[in-house]
Amino acid sequence: MSRETISQSISIVHPISLSHGRNAEVWDTTGKRYIDFVGGIGVLNLGHCHPGVVAAIREQATKLTHYAFNAAPHTPYIELMDRLTRFIPVDYPVSGMLTNSGAEAAENALKIVRGATGRTAVIAFDGAFHGRTLATLNLNGKVAPYKQKVGVLPGPVYHLPYPSADNGVSCAEALKAMDRLFSVEIDVNDVACFIIEPVQGEGGFLALDIEFAQALRRLCDEKNILLIADEIQSGFGRTGQRFAFSRLGIEPDLILLGKSIAGGVPLGAVVGRKALMDNLPKGGLGGTYSGNPIACAAALATLDAMTDEHLQAWGSQQEAAIVGRYEAWRSQHLSPYLGRLTGVGAMRGIELTSADGTPAPQQLTQLLSLARDAGLLLMPSGKSRHIIRLLAPLTIEPAVLDEGLDILQACLKQLV
């Protein structure tokens, strides 16, 4: 099958063609089986073809396949927003809107922030990833490949170091950089919002420093700046909790949702303080496909499965398996390239580094190929593309998880 009709600007991690999947396993068109530690890049927390999600899609497809909500509201959208706002663990009144993707959620959040504050300046963080649309490119804390050759981007956007024990940037260093930003680059009173990932995804599964998160929340309260939490990858149970911001002891003003919100069907959302969500004129928010009925039905089935008990059990099981294996590999000196374990809960990354501690992207490229040949799909991340993202479905069977970690172990030993 030719791929000549597909843009060559799309980068492919694994040069295979998948035909079908079941929970944490996928098969390509040759019939080869793979254990999936990519999960659609964090989309499939409930695995491939979750029975509840599939049943909801089938049932909804016999009733109403589409209607633009802004033309005439439909039941699945209304039911989902009611359930979703109750699923968000904050104490304030919540409302929101549905979008087609996480990037679209970020774009709409920027509009909401401008409408609420009358300001335009945004502060994001090094290593951030918020999407591939023009405005979200500017938020990303990485030039290659996302910002190359696209010219002037909408702004103004400023970047700060992302403080995390996983990258060695301390809270004090990040706050010092913030003081410099407000002394040299921009008046703090001109800032509309901060946008931050509680755990960076593309950045390498770096968990945000809790002290910094609380200091940032205090600053935002003092200066009337809005705080946006991008939970597109870290949300819907990825860490073992509903959302990763809960571990930080803060409540953001707006929350961006996507990826695993609908079990593999395209959907995103912006939710947050009702007064913020209602501040734009009628018609200021919306979209033709936003909140498609089939996507909403899939999301409702996803929420049915994501009870706190399930999330805690899934997260604890996966965290224990990954951390236990990693610690054994370190004690066994499995590979000279085995670096730090990053992230929190079930959202974990493994660094590959050289003897001097510098990133080892060539070895990660080698690992991707070795693992694929052995039947395991992995996803790279990190500024230097040297951190393995472990994104197996939360619902993965323990035996399959162990099998995947066995393959990873064998491949790590082969790195040269």
pLDDT value of residue 187: 96
CB 388 within 8 A of CB 367: yes
- Maximum Cα–Cα distance across the chain: 62
Burial class (CB in 10 A: 0-12, 13-18, 19+), 246: middle
CB 127 within 8 A of CB 152: no
Structure tokens at 296: 């909403």
Structure tokens at 175: 């706050």
Q: Which of 17, 36, 140 is nearest to 407 (CA)?
A: 36
Q: What's the 3-state SS for the chain?
A: CCCCCCCCCCCCCCCCCEEEEEECEEEECCCCEEEECCHHHHCCCCCECCHHHHHHHHHHHCCCCCCCCCCCCCHHHHHHHHHHHHHCCCCCCEEEEEECCHHHHHHHHHHHHHHHHCCCEEEEECCCCCCCCHHHHHHCCCCCCCCCCCCCCCCCEEEECCCECCCCECHHHHHHHHHHHHHHHCCHHHEEEEEECCEECCCCCEECCHHHHHHHHHHHHHHCCEEEEECCCCCCCCCCCCCHHHHHCCCCCEEEECHHHHCCCCCEEEEEEHHHHCCCCCCCCCCCCCCCHHHHHHHHHHHHHCCHHHHHHHHHHHHHHHHHHHHHHHHCCCCCCEEEEEEECCEEEEEEECCCCCECHHHHHHHHHHHHHHCEECEEECCCCCEEEECCCCCCCHHHHHHHHHHHHHHHHCCC
CB 301 within 8 A of CB 293: no
How many alpha carbons fall within 13 Å on the CB side of residue 334? 18
pLDDT value of residue 133: 82
Dihedral over alpha carbons 353, 354, 360, 363 (to 10 degrees): -100
Burial class (CB in 10 A: 0-12, 13-18, 19+), 219: middle
Give me the average pLDDT of each 10-residue run along the chain (416 residues). 80 94 98 98 97 98 97 97 97 97 94 93 93 77 56 75 96 98 96 97 96 98 98 96 97 98 97 94 92 98 96 96 98 97 96 96 98 98 95 98 98 97
pLDDT value of residue 265: 97
pLDDT value of residue 134: 75
Q: Can you tell me which residue has the tokens 């890049």?
A: 41
Phi, psi torsion values for 356, nearest 5 degrees: -85, 5
CB count in 10 Å sphere of residue 73? 12
Residue-range domains of the chain with CATH: 53-305 (3.40.640.10), 308-413 (3.90.1150.10)
pLDDT value of residue 150: 45
CB 194 within 8 A of CB 227: yes
- Cis status of the peptide bond prior to 380, with omega within 30 of 0: no
pLDDT value of residue 145: 57
